[in-house]
């Protein structure tokens, strides 16, 4: 073996030993490093036991069952309106016109949820509340102040992103109740009506609604009081509860522990505008009567005998006049039922049909709930003498038709103005085309039709894409030559009818050419 080969072999051996040494060093370093990290991990909490999530177990209780059964029946209501210009602040008397306390805070507040003041009456505003389904065909009970004097009502069902258009069936200012209706895609789940007269102080109470727009919020508490008179209106005697209710709960149901509706959440007592533990619900027994009247005739009829009772009576008054119970007649409406029957001022009504009258509220409630045209026997104490009078119950709206107190029960529908611009119920303002219109718009002389001068925001016309300055030439294949033609056609249409407008629309103008007009159709179903 030559010297050169020996040297080469020694170099290869040295290189192999070097590589082996490096490999062993890397292995030892890795093991040491891993051991150090493991030691550090173990030493962070050596006496701790890892946590484990248990298998899912459904824990049910009565409130859980109640919420699941009622949630599908509670709805969120959104109403849009354009406020009218006013020099006064509408919140000066609170959201429902209630009197303020000495600190200028609303003590009793109707709690729909609004989006705040708008800087100008031209800006559309929105308010929201709650309601509950009482009929599978889409009838919903809510508070009147949620939907009164608004342009459009929209309803969302729990678990359904669809916004259903609703129309107002009727309302009652005295109880602050309203009935609205939607056209559902399928049968709905109505609530179960309970009996509010069976509720006692201390019973469980559950409120469901959309406070601050948070749909299907459930809160629980107890009945704090019944028959609570807070000086709101004659027929409002509330159930008081401490179940948490806030702006947006208005019109939602108050339930007993069985999930039956026993009240309509209407008002809260607050100095901050939010929940302070005192809420008021109109008893469902009263609400049912109002609802039944509305679906029968569109309005609530209440009986009256045409008398005004003395206010602020003290027990000493009746005692001094020699009566043990009853109410003093302050005045008798001339020509009214009591006047015709012979009842006079200063008479004391002590009984109705043999049943003793406790106080003024007792008398009013009995008379108001009596059928119009029925006859009741009024027992009267007149100067210490007992006398009976047969009185025919009249319709309060007719008996006191000249009393402005009852004027707000009427629907404030504005009549069309007598000028050339007429408000059509499609949500448009129109006028008959003139020769000047035809010339300025580049229409052929002799072209008949009506010119759309404006389209109401979020109206039926806007929904079907009718524009300002469109010219309507036919509706449902019937020629339109004047505003009177539109009136005649629309008078024969009913909510739910299909309507097709044939219109002419001006295309973008080219200054070098005459205006171009396109004829097209706009169609839709009239809202119910």
Catalytic residue set:
145, 176, 250
The helix/strand/coil state of 228 is strand
The helix/strand/coil state of 288 is helix
Instruction: Name the DSSP class of 17.
Output: H
Contacts of 63 (CB under 8 A, 6+ apart): 206, 218, 220
Instruction: Measure the CA–CA gap between 62 and 65, rounded to whole angstroms.
Output: 5
The CA-atom distances, in angstroms, between 416 and each of 94, 212, 230 are: 32, 37, 40
Q: Which two tokens stand for residue 21?
A: 């040494």
The helix/strand/coil state of 388 is strand
Residue carrying the six token digits 């004097």: 149
- Where b means 16+ CB within 10 Å and e means fewer, 94-133 reads bbbebeeeeeeebbbbbbbbbeeeeeeeeeebbbbbbbbb
Q: Which two tokens stand for residue 417?
A: 């103005």
Please provide residue 169's backbone torsions phi and psi, each rounded to the nearest 5 degrees.
-85, -45
How many angstroms separate the first and last alpha carbons of the chain?
113
Q: How far is CA 469 from the centre of its chain?
A: 35
Instruction: Measure the CA–CA gap between 507 and 354, rounded to whole angstroms.
Output: 78
Residues 99 and 93 sit within 8 Å (Cβ to Cβ):
yes
- Where b means 16+ CB within 10 Å and e means fewer, 55-82 reads eeeeeeeeeeebbeebbbbbbbbbbebb
Instruction: Measure the CA–CA gap between 347 and 331, rounded to whole angstroms.
Output: 9
Q: What's the CA angle centered on 77, arms 239 and 84, to 5 degrees?
A: 100
Please provide residue 131's backbone torsions phi and psi, each rounded to the nearest 5 degrees.
-165, 175
Residues 333 and 400 sit within 8 Å (Cβ to Cβ):
yes
Residues 295 and 169 sit within 8 Å (Cβ to Cβ):
yes
Among residues 325, 349, 326, the alpha carbon closest in space to that of 337 is found at 349
Q: Do the bridges between strand 192-193 and strand 125-135 make them parallel or antiparallel, or are there none, so unpaired?
A: unpaired
Q: How far is CA 236 from the centre of its chain?
A: 18
Burial of 155 (0-12, 13-18, 19+ CB in 10 A): buried
Residues 369 and 280 sit within 8 Å (Cβ to Cβ):
no
């Amino acid at each position: 073996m030559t010297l050169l080969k020996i040297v080469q072999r020694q170099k290869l051996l040295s290189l192999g030993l070097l590589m082996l040494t490096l490999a062993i060093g890397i292995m030892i370093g890795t093991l040491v490093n891993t051991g150090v990290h493991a030691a550090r991990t173990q030493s962070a909490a050596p006496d701790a036991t890892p946590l484990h999530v248990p298998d899912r177990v459904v824990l049910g209780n009565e409130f859980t069952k109640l919420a699941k059964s009622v949630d599908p029946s509670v709805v969120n209501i959104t109403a849009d309106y354009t406020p009218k210009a006013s020099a006064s602040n509408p919140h000066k008397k609170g959201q429902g016109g209630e009197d303020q306390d000495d600190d200028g805070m609303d003590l009793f507040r109707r709690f729909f949820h609004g989006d705040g003041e708008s800087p100008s009456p031209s800006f559309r505003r929105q308010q929201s509340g709650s309601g509950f389904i009482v009929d599978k065909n889409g009838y919903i009970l809510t508070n009147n102040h949620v939907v009164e004097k608004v342009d459009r009502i929209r309803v969302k069902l729990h678990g359904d992103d669809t916004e259903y258009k609703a129309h107002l069936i009727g309302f009652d200012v005295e109880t602050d109740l309203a009935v609205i209706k939607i056209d559902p895609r399928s049968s709905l789940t109505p609530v179960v009506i309970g009996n509010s007269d069976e509720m006692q102080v201390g019973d469980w109470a559950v409120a469901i609604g959309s406070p601050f727009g948070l749909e299907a919020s459930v809160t629980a508490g107890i009945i704090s009081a019944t028959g609570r008179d807070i000086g709101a209106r004659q027929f409002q005697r509330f159930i008081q509860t401490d179940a948490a209710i806030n702006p947006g709960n208005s019109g939602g149901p108050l339930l007993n522990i069985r999930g039956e509706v026993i009240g309509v959440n209407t008002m809260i007592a607050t100095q901050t505008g939010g929940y302070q533990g005192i809420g008021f619900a109109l008893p469902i027994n009263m609400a049912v009567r109002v609802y039944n009247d509305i679906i029968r005739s569109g309005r609530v009829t209440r009986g009256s005998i045409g008398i005004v009772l003395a206010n602020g009576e003290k027990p000493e008054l009746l005692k001094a006049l020699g009566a043990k119970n009853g109410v003093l007649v302050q005045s008798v409406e001339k020509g009214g039922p009591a006047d015709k029957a012979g009842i006079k001022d200063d008479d004391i009504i002590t009984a109705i049909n043999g049943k003793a009258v406790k106080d003024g509220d007792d008398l009013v409630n009995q008379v108001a709930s009596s059928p119009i045209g029925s006859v009741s026997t009024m027992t009267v104490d007149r100067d210490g003498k007992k006398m009976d009078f047969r009185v025919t119950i009249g319709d309060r709206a007719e008996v006191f038709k000249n009393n402005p107190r009852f004027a707000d029960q009427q629907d404030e529908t504005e009549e069309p103005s007598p000028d050339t611009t007429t408000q059509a119920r499609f949500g448009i303002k129109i006028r008959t085309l003139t020769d000047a219109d035809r010339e300025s718009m580049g229409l052929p002389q002799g072209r008949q039709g009506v010119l759309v001068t404006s389209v109401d925001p979020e109206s039926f016309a806007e929904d079907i894409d009718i524009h300002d300055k469109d010219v309507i030439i036919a509706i449902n294949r019937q020629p339109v030559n004047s505003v009177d033609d539109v009136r005649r056609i629309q008078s024969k249409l009913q909510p739910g009818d299909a309507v097709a407008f044939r219109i002419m629309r001006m295309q973008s103008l080219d200054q070098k050419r005459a205006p171009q007009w396109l004829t097209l159709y706009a169609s839709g179903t009239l809202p119910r």
